[in-house]
Amino acid sequence: MINAKVEVIVRGFVFSVMTLLISGCSVPFFGGYGANHQSLEDFKSHVEEIFRLQNQMSSEVIMLVESGEENKHDALKLAEQKMQKTCADLNEYASRDIDGLSISFSLHRRVEKSAIDCENAALAIKPLLK
């Protein structure tokens, strides 16, 4: 159930990113997209990977909490909260897209600027899940 929902969100998100980028609304100001100044194609792929990773980590945290395991629970909660805060722009973008709401240029730029930090926050959860 969770994976199907994530897949719907990812597909909608990817469609929106592609539409945005094709329309020219998110033209990079200094030679590339995102913090790594990637090509358009590389940036789209990377953002999709980050979104999937962040959703996977959220799903795994939920499953662990529901299983009743208390090991590293406080550290995991803090890391998950940090990830949610760091990935807020990415999640807002996906949510607005799914609901058919407009997405401002400033939100597009915030997603572009925060993608790497979101990825790092999601990756910080991985060792806590083991």
pLDDT of residue 39: 75
Maximum average pLDDT range among 19-23, 47-51, 68-72, 84-88: 84-88
Determine what percent of the chain is predicted with pLDDT higher than 90.
Answer: 28
pLDDT of residue 82: 96
pLDDT band per the 50, 70, 90 thresholds, residue 50: very high
Q: pLDDT per residue over 1-42, tens digit each?
A: 566 666 666 666 666 665 555 444 444 445 676 666 777 777
Please say if the pLDDT value at position 76 is more than 90. Answer: no
pLDDT of residue 96: 85
Q: How far apart are the first and last CA of the chain?
A: 23
pLDDT of residue 27: 47
Going by C-beta distance under 8 Å and a sequence separation of 6 or more, which residues neighbour residue 60?
Answer: 125, 129
Please say if the pLDDT value at position 54 is more than 90. Answer: yes
Window from 56-65, 79-88, 111-120 with minimum mean pLDDT: 56-65
Name which residue leads in pLDDT, 45 or 112: 112
